[in-house]
Amino acid sequence: MMAAGHGGQILLAESTAGLLSGVDLIDLGPRRLRDLPTAVGLFQVRAAGLRTDFPPLRALDASPGNLQAATTSFIGRESEVAEVQAAVKAHRLVTLTGVGGVGKTRLALEVAARLADEFPDGVWFFDLAAVTDPAAVPDAVAAVLGIIQQPGKSVADSVAAALEGRSRLLVFDNCEHVIDSVADLVEAILAASATVTILATSREGVGVSDEQLWRVPSLDVNAGTESAAVNLFVDRAHSVVSELLAGPARRGGRCPFNLPLQQALLKVAFGPLVAVIGLAILSTHAVVVGVPTTWSGVFLIAVVFGAGQQAVTRYVDQRASQILKAAVPSSKTTTH
C-alpha cells in the first residue's frame, strides 16, 4: 500500500479505516495492489496541514484485461448464460460449440463480462478469426498479453510460464480453423497454471483432456412472434435502419435508396443466419426502404426459424413497416 501512495499522502486500508472514529477520510474506492489477489478499499486521511491533491495512485489497473463493453443488446439466453457461468466456475476449460452464426461469440462475451469480478487478473479476449497461420496462434496471444519469448523457450511455453499463478479468464474465439494450435497452447497453459480458466468458441471441441463441451442451441422460437429469435432480428434490423438514416441523407431529409437495406443487414455481426434472413426478407421485386411487398421472402423466415408461417410473416412485415414509417414518414415506393 505504501508503494501505491505519494510523499505526504497517508493511506489506510478499509479494514483499518473501519476501526477509526473522528478522523476525516477520503474514500478512494477499491484498488488492486501488487501481490494481493483481490482489490482493497483505500482511504486517504484529510486533516489540517496535510495536502489533499495528489496524482493518481500507483495501483494496478482496477479493471485489468482487454474485454470491451458490448456494443449490441443481449436478447434471450438468460438460462444459457447461467449454465455456462456455472460450467466456467466448475471447469478450467469450457468450449462453446455450434454452427456458424448461432451466437457462440456473443454468449461467450456476455458470460465473460458477468464473471469479470471473479478474476482479479482480468478477462482477456483473443479473436482468432484473423489468424490464418496456425503457427501464429501463440504469437497472437502473446502480443495481446504483452508477453515476450523467453530464452530457450517456445512462444507457447513463454505464454504459459508468464500466466503461472495468475487468476485470469482467457476467451479464445473462433478456434475451428486453427484448432490444433489452440489445443497445444491450451494444454501448455493449463499445465503451467492452476489458476487460469479458458472459455473457447469453436464449431468443434478443442480436444484437450477434461474439456467441458457446451453446445449453443438456436434461439428460442416456441413463443412465436414473442420469441427471442424474432425479437433479436427486429432489434438488429432496427439498428441498421437507424444507422442508415443517421448519415448525410438524414440531413437532406431523404432516404438513402442508393444504399439498399439488404446490403446493410449483411454487415450485422450475426453470421450466416442473418444473411439468409436478410436476403429472404429483402430480395423481393418491390421494396419500400426494405419492406417486402410479396410474401416469398418472409415465408423463408418461417422455414429458417421453424415458427408458424403466418405468425412470422405477419409480425416481421408489420414491425419492419412500423420501424421504417417512423424513421421515414414520407418514404415512397421504389422499384429495383
How many CA atoms does the CB half-sphere of 267 hold within 13 Å? Answer: 11
pLDDT bucket at 146, cuts 50 / 70 / 90: confident
**Of the candidates 209, 238, 116, which has an alpha carbon nearest to the alpha carbon of residue 169?**
116
CA distance 322 to 229: 19
With a threshold of 0.85, does the pTM exceed it? no
Is pLDDT above 50 for 263?
A: no
Is pLDDT above 50 for 325?
A: yes
**Of the candidates 28, 91, 30, which has an alpha carbon nearest to the alpha carbon of residue 54?**
28
Is pLDDT above 80 for 103?
A: yes
- For residue 304, the model assigns a pLDDT of 43
Domains in the chain (CATH in brackets) are 2-45 (no CATH), 78-215 (3.40.50.300), 224-335 (no CATH)
**Cβ 245 vs Cβ 331: under 8 Å:** no
What length does the chain have? 336
Is pLDDT above 50 for 291?
A: no
- Which residue is associated with the grid cell 468458441? 201
Residue 207, CA distances (Å) to 55, 103, 289 in order: 49, 21, 47
Is pLDDT above 70 for 144?
A: yes
**Of the candidates 322, 285, 284, which has an alpha carbon nearest to the alpha carbon of residue 301?**
284
101: left (phi over 0), alpha (psi -120 to 50) or beta: left
- Which residue is associated with the grid cell 495536502? 51
Is pLDDT above 90 for 207?
A: yes
DSSP for residue 224 = G
